[in-house]
Chains A and B, each alone.
Chain A
Amino acid sequence: QKEVEQDPGPLSVPEGAIVSLNCTYSNSAFQYFMWYRQYSRKGPELLMYTYSSGNKEDGRFTAQVDKSSKYISLFIRDSQPSDSATYLCAIDPSGAGSYQLTFGKGTKLSVIP
Chain B
Amino acid sequence: DTEVTQTPKHLVMGMTNKKSLKCEQHMGHRAMYWYKQKAKKPPELMFVYSYEKLSINESVPSRFSPECPNSSLLNLHLHALQPEDSALYLCASSQGNMGHYEQYFGPGTRLTVT
Contacts and interface: CB of A to CB of B under 8 A. Distances in A.
A34 B101 contact: yes
Give chain A's interface secondary structure class.
Answer: loop
B106 A43 contact: yes
Interface of B: 4, 31, 33, 40-43, 45, 48, 50, 55-56, 90, 92, 94, 98, 100-108, 110
Contacts of A103: 42-43
Interface string A83-107: 0000010101000011111011110
A88 B42 contact: yes
A46 B103 contact: yes
Contact of B43 (A42, A44, A98): A44
A99 B4 contact: no
A101 B103 contact: yes
A97 B104 CA distance: 17
B40 A8 contact: yes
Contact of A104 (B42, B45, B102): B42
A104 B94 CA distance: 20
A102 to B, nearest CB: 8
A32 interface: yes
Interface in A55-113: 88, 90, 92, 97-101, 103-106
A97 B45 CA distance: 16
B105 A98 contact: no
A46 B2 CA distance: 12
Nearest to B9: A41
Contacts of B102: 46, 49
B92 A43 contact: yes
B105 A45 contact: yes
Identify the 7 closest CB pairs spanning chains A and B, nearest first.
A43-B105, A103-B42, A99-B48, A32-B101, A99-B100, A44-B105, A49-B101
A101 B100 CA distance: 9
Contacts of A90: 101
